[in-house]
Amino acid sequence: MNILLTGGAGYIGSHAAVALAQAGHQVVLFDNFCNSRHEVAQRLQTIIGHPLVVIEADIRQTDLLEKALRDHAIDAVVHFAGLKAVGESVAEPIGYYANNVQGTISLLQAMHNTHVKTLVFSSSATVYGVPHYLPLDESHPTSATNPYGRTKLHIEEMLGDVAQSDPTWRIACLRYFNPVGAHDSGLIGEEPNGPPNNLMPYLARVASGQLPQLNIFGNDYDTPDGTGVRDYIHVMDLAAGHLAALDFLTTHPHGRYVFNLGTGQGYSVMEMLRAFETVVGKPLPFHIAPRRAGDVASCYANPGFAASQLNWRAKLDLKAMCESTWQFQQRAARG
């Protein structure tokens, strides 16, 4: 298939590009590089072994999206493009709604106008809000605790309306848990601009000496060691989940489907720190800080629906997640 990846130069999109290209698909990246680097395209070509089409544009430029969909005879879109920093979304909600919601409307218009009706959307476990029970399955009630999460919920709801209005759409909303790790080439990975918000890239910068210590946000949660528990999933497993979702959409009836992409296994912040220390071979400085506003104690998936419907399961373990993060960090630090 010819597949357009909006936000394809970003962290998850670039890894999915590798998985899709290596499975024989033609991928076209459409990204405005507001949170990614131009070198990613070159690095992807090195991994994949052939040139890639990269279109530098904003998804709100509907005419350019339409042109891309037509020029490259696109069969399906994987929609990664979006802003994702929770704190920033609280400070700048208008920018988040404009980019994420308005951007998705523009994409849906372009797809509608060009009769491309197969879409995989990057959603998030954040749409479950505060868990009522664990593990989280797809029928857990949804809610939003911040503007970022609300953009994901609005988009999921819009996609439901679109699928209902026109039975030729095939849509999968993939609710990612906590993507971590990097491609084993060490060429692509998570490269946040500025100090990382997320645990794994933060740990990597502490290990490389770029940051003095890890601040553990709370050790008085109702969890086995008091620190927050999350479902960390290797980004290459997540990438494989997109392939599985596209295969599913092309072989199943039209409609909108929702799948959790997680491992089903929760790890605490302290367990993540210890696992990372084992990989880097030295203790890492940490400090117990107050809880971070909006954090929940535990969040992990029931991945059973994706396993049964997509025939997909995460395979890579915590060691692989830490090793690939560290390898990428070392390479990035060397420039």
Under the rule (CB under 6 A), what is the footprint of ligand UDP?
178, 197-199, 202, 214-217, 228, 230, 269, 292, 295
- Find the binder of ligand NAD among 4, 21, 31, 78 (CB under 6 A): 31
Dist CA 192 CA 330 (whole Å): 15
Rounded to an integer, what distance in angstroms lies between the CA atom of residue 121 and that of residue 173?
Answer: 5
Alpha carbon distance 166, 217 (integer Å): 46
Nearest to 323 by CA among 178, 204, 161, 243: 204
CA-closest candidate to residue 167, choices 256, 106, 93, 250: 256
Instruction: Check if 232 is active-site.
Output: no
Q: Least CB distance from residue 222 to ligand UDP, whole Å?
A: 13
Q: Which residues within the stretch 66-95 sit at the binding site for ligand NAD (CB under 6 A)?
A: 80-84
Euclidean distance between CA atoms 161 and 171, whole angstroms: 11
Q: What is the C-alpha separation between 131 and 110, in angstroms, rounded? A: 36
State which residue, 55 or 203, has the beta carbon closest to ligand UDP.
Answer: 203
In the complex with ligand NAD, the residue whose CB is nearer, 39 or 166, is: 39
Give the binding range for ligand NAD (CB under 6 A) out of 27-35, 109-117, 257-265, 308-316.
27-35
Cα separation, 306 vs 10, in Å, equals 24
| Residue 149 binding result from ligand UDP, ligand NAD, none, given CB thresholds of 5 to 8 Å by partner type | none
In the complex, minimum distance from the CB of residue 58 to ligand NAD, in angstroms, rounded to a whole number: 4
Instruction: List contacts with ligand NAD (CB under 6 A).
Output: 6-7, 9-13, 31-36, 58-60, 80-84, 99, 103, 122, 124, 176, 179
- List residues with catalytic annotation: 148
